[in-house]
């Protein structure tokens, strides 16, 4: 168990004793007080936050202010008691040829450079790059925010395994094997029609994909299953020597979305020693109501926003040109959802409850997908992170449980991945 502080107030101890013994129910004031105490002691980590490319960590898109365009920035993290985030080096799926791979690699470098600007140039006094679990713990103790790197989509690896070590040396500590569309590594749970991959291509991991996983295991990079197909998941469970994660997924039993994990997958993840980081994206948490669907459709029509299938067909340049409209859409969507909420924080905790019930308390964490679509009423940005802890306390989770969910479980997986990498390197 990793904690920032080992002291505990006498009032908090009494509330825990009363809750366990059932002598009296806690008042709302006591719940909030206990939640604040636990939240301060926990190392609070989020495994998935999206960032823009060349704009990010510049005056144009400054993550050091309370930025209305961002759900994750340093101010919101500080307000919400968030200790660390994995920023996603996301690259959309494209054609699998030399030109496509080169463009993807260059696009990934732009985001690595943006993260470097944030941690080394703009706000080195407020945040720091963490490349090990020990880094996370030590950075947290200084009061800085720990910034970590995950790659969303293994597509930029191309066909050159040496790129994986290049990404590792730049700080990448997990790779989501694919995204929307099959790639050279494995099949996606969301095929893209414009790439001609409506049907399974590899029926799981490709032969090259198995080599990618072996190299990730050797280096100490965590394999991430969010976005990959069910067949790819089962191949990865068989092939990986290290625990795996779902960096931003929900539970399929509660919402039958292809991005979510079913109960068999949750049980396998538990047996593997991995962790599901529950996503805070409404469409993955709960089926959309007719009222909300109509309001969103009307807004899309007004702003001339293409649907997801059309967006999948768009080039990277076309998506960039669409960003101003998407930002306006997000702003207006937030206003609509104040009166027609599609989901709320209770729905979010329902997914945590289910994952805990099926996989176990040691195999569940938090990965919001903020600034990539994530955000729900009650947990719409990192300034509201305490609300998650309050709801967990309200539902009877212990301090030890909450510390595991907020970051302890993820740090355990990371340490185990490091240890396995050390052993594999000794064997070679």
| Predicted confidence (pLDDT) per residue in 178-210, tens digit | 999 999 999 999 887 677 777 899 999 999 999
Identify any residues that bridge with 90 across adjacent strands, giving them in sequence order. 152
- What is the pLDDT averaged over residues 38-58? 96
Please report, rounded to a whole number, the percentage of residues in the chain having pLDDT higher than 70: 92
Identify any residues that bridge with 228 across adjacent strands, giving them in sequence order. 188
Q: Which range, of 17-31, 164-178, 261-275, averages the lowest pLDDT? A: 17-31
Decide if pLDDT at 163 tops 50.
Answer: yes
Decide if pLDDT at 14 tops 60.
Answer: no
Cβ pair 5, 355 in contact under 8 A? no
Task: Give the domains, in start order, of the chain with CATH numbers.
Answer: 25-288+342-427 (3.20.20.140)
| Predicted confidence (pLDDT) per residue in 228-279, tens digit | 999 999 999 999 999 999 999 999 999 999 999 999 999 999 999 999 999 9
What's the CA angle centered on 373, arms 370 and 376, to 5 degrees?
A: 75
Cβ pair 19, 401 in contact under 8 A? no
Report residue 234 as tokens: 């089962």
- Tell me the CA distances in angstroms from 123 to 29, 55, 103, 127, 289, one per residue in order: 36, 16, 29, 6, 42
Q: List, in order, residues 6 or more apart from 289 with CB less than 8 Å away.
A: 340, 342
Q: How many angstroms separate the CA atoms of 70 and 104, rounded? A: 24
The β-bridge relationship of strands 127-129 and 145-152 is parallel
Q: Which range, of 203-207, 297-301, 408-412, averages the lowest pLDDT? A: 297-301
| Predicted confidence (pLDDT) per residue in 78-131, tens digit | 999 999 999 999 999 999 999 999 999 999 999 999 999 999 999 999 999 999
Residue 4's pLDDT is: 44
Q: What is the mean pLDDT of the chain?
A: 91
| Predicted confidence (pLDDT) per residue in 346-390, tens digit | 999 999 999 999 999 999 999 999 999 899 999 999 999 999 999
């Amino acid at each position: 168990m990793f904690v920032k502080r080992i002291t505990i107030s006498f009032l908090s101890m009494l509330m825990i004793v009363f809750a366990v013994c059932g002598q009296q129910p806690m008042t709302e004031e006591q719940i909030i007080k206990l939640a604040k105490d636990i939240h301060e002691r926990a190392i609070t980590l989020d495994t998935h936050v999206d960032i823009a490319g060349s704009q990010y960590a510049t005056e144009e898109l400054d993550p050091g202010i309370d930025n209305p365009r961002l759900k994750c920035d340093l101010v919101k993290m500080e307000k919400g008691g968030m200790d660390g985030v994995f920023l996603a080096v996301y690259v959309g799926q494209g054609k699998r040829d030399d030109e496509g791979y080169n463009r993807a690699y260059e696009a990934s470098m732009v985001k690595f450079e943006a993260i470097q600007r944030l941690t080394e140039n703009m706000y080195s006094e407020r945040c720091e790059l963490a490349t090990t679990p020990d880094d996370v713990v030590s950075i947290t103790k200084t009061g800085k925010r720990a910034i970590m790197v995950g790659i969303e989509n293994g597509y930029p690896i191309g066909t050159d395994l040496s790129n994986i070590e290049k990404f590792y040396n730049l700080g990448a500590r997990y790779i989501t094997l694919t995204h929307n569309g099959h790639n050279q590594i494995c099949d996606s749970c969301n095929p893209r029609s414009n790439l001609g991959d409506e049907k399974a291509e590899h029926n799981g991991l490709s032969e090259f994909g198995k080599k990618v996983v072996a190299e990730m295991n050797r280096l100490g990079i965590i394999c991430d299953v969010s976005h990959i197909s069910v067949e790819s998941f089962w191949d990865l469970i068989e092939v990986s020597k290290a625990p795996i994660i779902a960096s931003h997924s929900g539970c399929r039993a509660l919402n039958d979305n292809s991005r979510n994990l079913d109960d068999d997958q949750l049980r396998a993840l538990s047996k593997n020693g991995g962790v599901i980081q529950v996503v805070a994206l409404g469409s993955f948490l709960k089926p959309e109501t007719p009222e909300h669907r109509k309001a969103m459709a009307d807004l899309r029509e007004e702003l001339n926003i293409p649907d997801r299938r059309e967006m999948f067909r768009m080039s990277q340049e076309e998506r960039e040109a669409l960003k101003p409209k998407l930002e306006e859409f997000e702003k207006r969507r937030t206003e609509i959802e104040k009166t027609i909420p599609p989901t709320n924080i209770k729905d979010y905790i329902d997914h945590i409850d289910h994952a805990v019930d099926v996989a176990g308390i040691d195999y569940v964490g938090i990965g919001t997908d903020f600034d990539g679509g994530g955000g729900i009423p009650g947990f719409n940005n990192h300034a509201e992170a305490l609300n998650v802890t309050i709801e967990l306390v309200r539902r009877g989770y212990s301090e030890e449980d909450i510390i595991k969910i907020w970051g302890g479980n993820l740090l355990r997986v990371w340490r185990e991945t490091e240890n396995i990498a050390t052993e594999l390197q000794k064997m070679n």
